[in-house]
């Protein structure tokens, strides 16, 4: 596995790969890889000749400095996992490499970003869309893979790619859960042992079919602080806090 830090070198490397291969798949991550990330990478490997991955903890999508500071980092283990699974290329840029402009150029969406997670985290999706656009331009992959856990994020990225006529196809991948039903997330590593026992109730309650008011009441009784639970299109989207850890999930509405 080649590890490349410089954006120009990354772009040139992918350009060279394009001359040799039929298709390139790309999985952008912020590190602290888990089985959910690996499922995206496995699908990319199955569907493409070359799979590229990025690890970049993107500060511009954090509206809370403590959240950024506490985000788990397991870079050496991440590299071992990626190499073992067969990833050919890993991109690990620095902030100054990615934001040489000081984040003065930004990507803004004017409707969906103001709802759900965007309402509670102002500026979050501007940071997400900006970094994803940069990575998609640099990589120029045929397909990029995103998990369905953050359904709002997937829809925004897919909409951006189509609106800006990007050549990369945005591929949604099934949400991966622990046996308890808890959606896999790097943030789960921040939960205490006591919180780990409570956390699975989140999915159990929002998938129970009761009213949203009843869901909120049950979640509070179990120790959660509810950010939002809302129906949107064919999904029920939800976000809660367990202590200081923010968890998100969604379920299809039957």
Cite the active site residues. Answer: 37
Q: How far apart are the first and last CA of the chain?
A: 43
Return the residue matching tokens 């840029």. Answer: 93
Q: Are 12 and 91 in contact (CB under 8 A)?
A: no
Residues 6+ apart with CB under 8 A from 32: 71, 72, 73, 74, 78, 186, 189
Please state, in angstroms and rounded to a whole number, the distance separating the CA atoms of residues 120 and 101: 27
Q: Are 37 and 44 in contact (CB under 8 A)?
A: no
Q: Are 35 and 95 in contact (CB under 8 A)?
A: no
């Amino acid at each position: 596995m080649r590890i490349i830090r410089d954006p120009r070198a990354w772009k040139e490397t992918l350009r060279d790969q394009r001359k040799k291969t039929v298709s390139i798949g790309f999985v952008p991550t912020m590190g602290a890889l888990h089985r959910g990330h690996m499922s995206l990478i496995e699908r990319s490997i199955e569907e493409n000749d070359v799979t590229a991955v990025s690890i970049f903890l993107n500060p511009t999508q954090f509206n809370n400095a403590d959240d950024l500071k506490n985000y788990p980092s397991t870079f050496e283990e991440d590299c071992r996992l990626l190499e073992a699974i067969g990833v050919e290329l890993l991109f690990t840029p620095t902030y100054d490499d990615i934001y040489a402009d000081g984040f003065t150029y930004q990507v803004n969406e004017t409707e969906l970003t103001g709802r759900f997670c965007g309402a509670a985290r102002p500026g979050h999706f501007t940071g997400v869309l900006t970094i994803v656009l940069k990575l998609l331009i640099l990589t120029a992959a045929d397909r990029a893979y995103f998990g369905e856990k953050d359904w709002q994020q997937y829809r925004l990225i897919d909409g951006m790619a189509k609106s800006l006529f990007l050549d990369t196809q945005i591929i949604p991948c099934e949400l991966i859960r622990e046996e308890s039903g808890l959606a896999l997330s790097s943030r789960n590593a921040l939960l205490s042992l006591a919180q780990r026992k409570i956390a699975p109730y989140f999915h159990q309650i929002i998938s129970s079919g009761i009213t949203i008011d009843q869901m909120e009441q049950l979640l509070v009784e179990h120790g959660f602080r509810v950010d939002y639970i809302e129906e949107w299109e064919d999904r029920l989207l939800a976000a809660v806090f367990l202590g200081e850890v923010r968890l998100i999930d969604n379920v299809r509405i039957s």
